[in-house]
Amino acid sequence: MALKITDQCINCDVCEPECPNGAISAGEEIYVIDPGKCTECVGHFDAPQCREVCPVDCIPLDPDHVETREILQVKYVSLVAAGIARAKT
């Protein structure tokens, strides 16, 4: 499943630089997550880094974008191959 940022977001700017896929960007009012780039950090880390640093816990799973861990892994490989995500070192 991709993640999403709720309207509880306080625009603290800590999540965006933590995303290894560049899936987080500033929206009109709050930060947003591109579900096409979000892998919940599968391929990079054991846990989604945006959720780890969020001070208000406003990044739940997005029920509109249900994906298995296997699908997230395939997405990660595709993003790295396209040069969108940074490869795990």
Q: 24-36: per-residue pLDDT in tens?
A: 999 999 999 999 9
What are the start-end ranges of the E strands in 1-89?
24-26, 31-33
Name the DSSP letter for residue 18.
Answer: G
Task: Tell me the pTM.
Answer: 0.92
Domain edges within the chain: 16-81
Residue 89's pLDDT is: 55
- Kindly calculate the radius of gyration of the chain based on its CA atoms and give it in whole angstroms: 12
Nearest Cα neighbor of 6 from 50, 49, 68, 39 is: 50
CA 29 to chain centre: 18
The model's pLDDT over 34-69, given as tens digits with 9 standing for 90+, comes to: 999 999 999 999 999 999 999 999 999 999 999 999
Q: What is the length of the chain? A: 89
**CATH class assigned to 16-81:** alpha beta
